């Protein structure tokens, strides 16, 4: 199997998962037919040629290197949506969001030229895989299952499944980090509102003399 | 999660980490680069002692509406090779990268070497068009082509590609994509002359290529390429961030020191200069020179006596008055020598300077938008031009 084909097969996985998710809709009670049809329909839609290229090729035009973290999180999310199988707990998802947000803050502003310092070349050096192994170990020691997810970028990078030779691309991508940042902002805002209302509630509950 | 499972997974994490670190691609390092032989002797291979100057067109036919961004390279046998892109207009799908060689003073007819269809086929994805290209002549006689393709939008949506020819450009290896940017690999562009580095252990060819980004910011970078038994390894380093300068021209002064001349994107309308003392690992903050720049491409080189030569547009308003200037103090001050072209009906821009092993200087540039013109001269001609302006 050619290297290009391996890269294309891996890169096809994430858009198919995303489209399957979207086609499943938001209804919590999924019919058996919908569970079977949605992933097949997603595959069919992505195979329809538009201007001579199918949806997989168009998605490769934008993002050829979906991270292994994103692919794993999407797969786990789809398992939960379809089969109710919760491989990650709420605290694990929170860790995934925190990790993605921190990575986004470290990577993108510096990588896109905010400062004379660039963090993207770390991905070509031994530092980033070592940091990833350290974080994975720390999370696994605490029993956090996101630590298992972090093994996948190490394995996938070693197997050359991506077009990129930069470890950052194995670890994160703009789609994962974008969702992580939005989720973090949402969670922080919700926690802030909850804290604010909990402060307000005891005062209003004071007995009036 | 049971305790023993955690321990097994931790062991797996470190096992995978060791496997990743063991990979050959991590052998690439920019720890101790040095520019290779930046200084050529004045009369290498018998440069004519008398002033010599010649003008010619590389693309004789000029049958296409647009030809732009030429790049030159000298093959080990002395053959001069050129690439540029041409088509109906920038960003159009018919834009093609053309190639020509000069042997015995005569240019071959131009030949398309990279069409949109070919790149799309090799990379397996739809693209908008190819663009800027530079050539690197490896010591083993092979030619490496670095070129950009636009995925979407304009130049900010461009991505870097590479391919290799082992038969002087007759055939090229399948195109491979270089991933150089974290945000969808967008906006890594090449334009100016790559610099050969001193060969590192276990490598075939080592190059330092000036790059630039023009997506959210506009800033220069350096791409470090190492070819190891046919495998191309790449990394890059930042020169400066922000949104002020682009299209760097790297000029080595010796093995470790160098200057970088930069196109200005600000209201300064000046060529900027930055310096390195460690062969490009770190750079000083760019400062403006006394040379104007109308947001246009520039190209610089070091002459055999240590002077620096730059080709630039001597204007702050338009890509006109393509001129040469020299510096006797490593870029601190510049003296404008001569105007190469000033066609009032069109523009002359995007110069690319190359010094060949016979001591000749060649400047390829875009002329009237649809021609690639080549000016060749020796250092004696430059001395004569300088004498003209200093002698009343």
State the nearest Cα–Cα gap between A59 and chain B, in angstroms.
9
Q: Which of B1, B213, B237 sits opposite A121 (nearest CB)?
A: B237
Q: Which residue of B has its CA nearest to A9?
A: B124
Which chain B residues have a beta carbon less than 8 Å from that of A166? 179, 182
- B230 pLDDT above the threshold of 80: no
Using CA of residue B86, residue B91, residue B94, residue B99, what is the dihedral sign?
positive
Closest-approach residue (CA) in chain B for A140? B6
Alpha helices for chain B (secondary structure H): 3-22, 116-123, 379-390
Beta carbon pairs, A and B, within 8 Å: 147
Question: Complex ipTM, two decimals?
Answer: 0.89
Q: What does the block give as tokens for A72?
A: 């794993």
Q: Between the CA of residue B295 and those of A123, B93, B154, B314, what are the distances in Å? A: 33, 26, 17, 11
Question: Measured between beta carbons, which residues in chain B are less than 8 angstroms from residue A131?
Answer: none
In DSSP notation, B196-228 reads EBPPPTT-SEEEEEEEEEESSSEEEEEEEEEEE
- Nearest CA of chain B to the CA of A170: how many Å? 11
CA distance B240 to chain A (A): 4
A130 neighbourhood in chain B, CB within 8 Å: 17, 21
H or E segment and range at residue A132: helix A127-141
pLDDT at residue A63 greater than cutoff 50: yes
The pLDDT value recorded for residue B30 is 47
Per the CB < 8 Å rule, is B233 touching A165?
yes
Structural domain includes residue B25: no
Taking an 8 Å cut-off on Cβ atoms, the answer to whether A140 and B6 are in contact is yes
How many other C-beta atoms can be found within 10 angstroms of the C-beta atom of residue A78?
19
Do the chains contact at B23 and A158, CB–CB below 8 Å?
yes
Task: Work out the minimum CA distance from B48 to partner chain A, whole angstroms.
Answer: 45
3-state helix, strand, coil in chain A (%, to 5): 75, 0, 25
Q: In this complex, which of A51, A140, A154 lies closest to B20 when CB atoms are compared? A: A154
Please give the Cα distance from A171 to A167 (Å, whole number): 6
- How much of chain B, in percent, has pLDDT values that exceed 90? 64
Measured between alpha carbons, how far is B259 from B299 in angstroms, rounded to an integer? 12
Domain boundaries, chain A: 1-64, 88-196
| Among candidate residues B226, B189, B188, B195, the one with its CA nearest the CA of residue B209 | B195
* Residue contact B152–A60, C-beta within 8 A: no
| Cα separation values, A21 from A17, A60, A177, B146, Å | 6, 19, 18, 39
Helix (H, G, I), strand (E, B) or coil at A145: coil
CB-based contact A170:A155 (threshold 8 Å): no
Closest CB to A129: pick one of B10, B20, B236: B20
Whole-number pLDDT of residue B33 = 66
Which residues 6+ apart lie within 8 Å of A177 measured at CB?
A: A100, A101, A103, A104, A107, A108
Instruction: Count the domains in chain B.
Output: 1
Distance CA B129, CA B119 (A): 9
Contacts A4 to B, Cβ<8 Å? 123-124, 174
CATH number at residue B229: 2.120.10.10
Q: How confident is the model at residue B197 (pLDDT cuts 50, 70, 90)?
A: confident
Q: Tell me the sheet residues that pair with B313.
A: B322
* B128 DSSP assignment: S
Say if the Cβ atoms of A61 and B125 lie within 8 Å: yes
pLDDT digits (tens, 9 = 90+) for B53-84: 999 999 876 678 889 999 999 998 889 999 99
Average pLDDT of B134-142? 91
Min distance B120 CA to chain A CA atoms (Å): 10
For residue B10, what is the nearest residue in chain A, using CA coordinates? A137
In a domain, B7, yes or no: no
* pLDDT tens for each residue of B330-387: 999 999 999 998 776 668 899 999 999 988 999 999 998 889 999 999 999 999 999 8
Q: Which residue of A has its CA nearest to B2?
A: A143
Structural contact between residues B57 and B374, judged by C-beta atoms closer than 8 angstroms? yes
SS3 B316: coil
Task: Give first-to-last CA distance, chain A, whole Å.
Answer: 82
Q: Give me the domain span that covers residue B381.
A: 47-390
The C-alpha angle B356, B225, B150, rounded to 5 degrees, equals 95
In this complex, the residue of A150, A166, A174 whose CB is nearest that of residue B179 is A166
A112–B215 CB contact, under 8 Å: yes
How many Cβ atoms from other residues are within 10 Å of residue B278's Cβ?
Answer: 14
Q: Determine whether the interchain pair B13/A157 forms a contact, defined as Cβ–Cβ distance below 8 Å.
A: no
Give dist(CA B233, CA B243) in Å, integer. Answer: 28
Kindly determine whether residue A141 and residue B243, on different chains, have CB atoms separated by under 8 Å: no
State the DSSP H helix or E strand holding residue B263, giving kind and residue range, or none if neither.
strand B258-264
Cβ within 8 Å, pair A137-B179: no
Residue in chain A nearest B281 by alpha carbon: A117
- How many residues in chain B? 392
Q: Which residues on chain A are in Cβ contact (under 8 Å) with B242?
A: 113
Task: Give the global pTM.
Answer: 0.90
Provide, as residue numbers in chain A, all residues whose Cβ is less than 8 Å from the Cβ of B151: 61-62
Put simply, the answer to whether B127 touches A61 (Cβ < 8 Å) is: yes
For residue B236, list chain A residues with Cβ-Cβ distance below 8 A. 118, 120-121
**Rounded Cα gap, residues A68 and A70, in angstroms:** 5
Q: What is the pLDDT of residue B43?
A: 46
Cα separation values, B42 from A77, B21, B48, B311, Å:
68, 46, 10, 20
The mean of the pLDDT values for chain B is 88
**Chain segment A113-139, per-residue pLDDT in tens:** 888 899 999 999 899 999 999 999 999
Highest mean pLDDT among A56-60, B277-281, B388-392: A56-60
Task: Please state the rounded mean pLDDT for residues B144-164.
Answer: 94
| A177 vs B380: CA distance, rounded Å | 58
- Which of A113, A145, A165 is the closest to B217 by Cβ? A113
pLDDT for residue A209: 47
Helix (H), strand (E) counts: chain A = 10, 0
In a domain, B279, yes or no: yes
With beta carbons under 8 A apart, name residues in chain A contacting B280. none
pLDDT for residue B264: 94
Higher pLDDT pick, B12 / B37: B12
């Amino acid at each position: 199997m050619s290297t290009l084909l391996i890269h294309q097969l891996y890169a096809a996985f994430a858009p198919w998962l995303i489209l399957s998710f979207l086609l499943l809709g938001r209804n919590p009670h999924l019919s058996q037919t919908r569970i079977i049809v949605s992933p097949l329909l997603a595959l069919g839609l992505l195979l329809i040629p538009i201007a001579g290229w199918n949806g997989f090729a168009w998605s490769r035009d934008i993002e050829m290197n979906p991270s292994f973290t994103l692919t794993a999180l999407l797969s786990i999310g789809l398992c939960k949506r379809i089969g109710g199988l919760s491989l990650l707990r709420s605290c694990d998802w929170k860790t995934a969001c925190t990790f993605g947000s921190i990575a986004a803050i470290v990577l993108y502003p510096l990588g896109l030229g905010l400062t004379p310092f660039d963090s993207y070349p770390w991905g070509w050096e031994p530092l980033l895989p070592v940091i990833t192994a350290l974080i994975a170990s720390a999370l696994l020691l605490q029993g956090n299952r996101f630590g298992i997810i972090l093994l996948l970028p190490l394995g996938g990078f070693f197997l050359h499944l991506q077009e990129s030779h930069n470890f950052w691309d194995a670890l994160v991508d703009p789609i994962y980090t974008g969702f992580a940042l939005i989720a973090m902002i949402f969670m922080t805002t919700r926690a802030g509102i909850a804290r604010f209302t909990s402060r307000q509630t005891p005062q209003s509950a004071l007995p009036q003399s | 999660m049971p305790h023993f499972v955690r321990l097994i997974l931790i062991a797996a994490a470190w096992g995978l980490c060791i496997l990743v670190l063991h990979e050959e691609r991590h052998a690439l390092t920019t720890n101790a680069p040095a520019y290779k032989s930046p200084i050529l002797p004045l009369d290498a291979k018998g440069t004519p002692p008398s002033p010599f100057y010649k003008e010619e067109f590389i693309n004789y036919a000029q049958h296409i509406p647009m030809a732009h961004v030429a790049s030159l390279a000298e093959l080990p046998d002395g053959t001069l090779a050129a690439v540029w892109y041409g088509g109906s207009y920038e960003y159009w799908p018919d834009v093609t990268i053309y190639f020509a060689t000069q042997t015995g003073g005569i240019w071959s007819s131009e030949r398309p070497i990279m069409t949109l269809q070919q790149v799309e086929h090799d990379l397996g994805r739809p693209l908008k068009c190819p663009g800027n290209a530079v050539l690197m002549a490896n010591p083993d006689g092979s030619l490496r082509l670095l070129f950009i393709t636009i995925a979407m939008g304009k130049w900010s949506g461009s991505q870097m590609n590479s391919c290799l020819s082992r038969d002087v450009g007759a055939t090229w290896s399948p195109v491979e994509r270089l991933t150089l940017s974290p945000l969808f690999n967008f906006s890594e562009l090449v334009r100016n002359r790559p610099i050969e580095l001193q060969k590192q252990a276990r490598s075939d060819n080592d190059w330092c290529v000036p790059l630039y980004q023009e997506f959210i910011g506009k800033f220069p970078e350096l791409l470090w390429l190492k070819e190891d038994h046919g495998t191309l390894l790449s990394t890059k380093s930042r020169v400066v961030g922000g949104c002020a300068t682009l299209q760097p021209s790297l000029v080595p002064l010796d093995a470790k020191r160098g200057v970088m001349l930069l196109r200005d994107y600000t209201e300064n309308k000046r060529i900027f200069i930055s310096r390195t003392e460690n062969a490009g690992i770190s750079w000083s903050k760019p400062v403006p020179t006394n040379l104007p720049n109308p947001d246009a491409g520039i190209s610089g080189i070091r002459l055999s006596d240590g002077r620096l030569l730059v080709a630039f547009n001597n204007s702050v308003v338009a890509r006109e008055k393509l001129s040469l200037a020299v510096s006797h103090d490593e870029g601190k001050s510049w003296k404008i020598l001569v105007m190469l072209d000033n066609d009032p009906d069109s523009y002359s821009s995007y110069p690319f300077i190359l010094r060949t092993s016979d001591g000749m200087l060649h400047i390829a540039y875009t002329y009237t938008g649809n021609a690639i013109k080549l000016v060749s001269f020796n250092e004696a001609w430059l001395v004569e031009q300088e004498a003209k302006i200093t002698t009343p």
